[in-house]
Amino acid sequence: MNPFDLSGRVAVVTGANTGIGQAIALALAAAGADIAAVGRSAATDTVDQVRAMGRKAEIVSADLSTIEPVQRVVDETVEKLGGLHILVNNAGIIRRADAVDFSEEDWDAVVDTNLKSVFFLCQAAGRHMIANGGGKIINIASMLTFQGGIRVPSYAASKSGIAGVTKLLANEWATKGVNVNAIAPGYIATNNTAALQADAARNKSIVDRIPAGRWGDPSDLGGAAVFLASSAADYVQGHILAVDGGWLAR
């Protein structure tokens, strides 16, 4: 039996309409999973590509800037696709300003989306998984889970918090059949990093420091997601897997 086979599993992927979320959804589908594509923007393109692979896919509309929709995400996924075995918490936002000027509004917006909603979606999914034989939760961390960054105080705080929540849930749920881990993407070419890519000086300083010598593509995260979602990772708990072209090794 192929330990990476996800046939018969249902995966919720938040922020699945573009970038990292779309790439992970497509990788999970290619490994056999059916996909609930969750987000504010309808992930029509993602759903069409998943269905073209012969998998089931449904759009679940949810604005994760508050925790209001989290239980509905779980309920709607189970209702439409018949279960929930994998949760990928990818949806996130970023706000940039010098720390001396950073607003409470920008602090709350980022922490609410990137950390608070992630925890409560883990909670809702975890309750279902614990009651139904287990599952896999994959949170999306960041290089700023390990580093401070600049001009992104609420983002750095939220992604450091993701590490703590991931380990806490692993500690509580490892004996209940639920694996909780995280992927920390390096510098990936997406909408979130467009400002950095467009800044010639910052872009050069970033690429010069990446041993792989290039920005990552969202598809570079697919294999890590499939691994952590599969039975191949049954004894992996509370781990933060960097997929960063060697950034942290430099």
Here the tokens at position 199 are 């800044």
- Say yes or no to pLDDT of 192 above 80: no
pLDDT in tens, 20-43: 999 999 999 999 999 999 999 999
pLDDT at position 196 over 90 = no
pLDDT for position 195: 86
Contacts of 10 (CB under 8 A, 6+ apart): 33, 34, 35, 36, 77, 78, 81, 82, 83, 84, 85, 86
Tell me the pLDDT tens digit for each residue of 39-73.
Answer: 999 999 999 999 999 999 999 999 999 999 999 99
Domain boundaries, the chain: 10-243
Q: What is the pLDDT of residue 139?
A: 99
Q: Using an 8 Å Cβ cutoff, are 61 and 79 in contact?
A: no
Count of alpha carbons within 13 angstroms of residue 131, beta-carbon side: 8
Q: Helix and strand tally (H, E) in the chain?
A: 9, 7
- Residue 22 is predicted with a pLDDT of 98
Q: What is the CATH number of domain 10-243?
A: 3.40.50.720
Catalytic: which of 155, 173, 227, 247?
155
- CA dihedral of residues 78, 81, 83, 88 (deg, nearest 10): -90
Handedness of CA 138, 230, 22, 176 (dihedral sign): negative
Looking at residue 191, its pLDDT comes to: 84
pLDDT in tens, 108-159: 999 999 999 999 999 999 999 999 999 999 999 999 999 999 999 999 999 9
Distance CA 237, CA 178 (A): 9
The DSSP call for residue 67 is S
Dist. CA 75–CA 32, nearest whole Å: 22
Q: Does residue 197 surpass a pLDDT of 90?
A: yes
- Assess whether 155 carries a catalytic annotation: yes
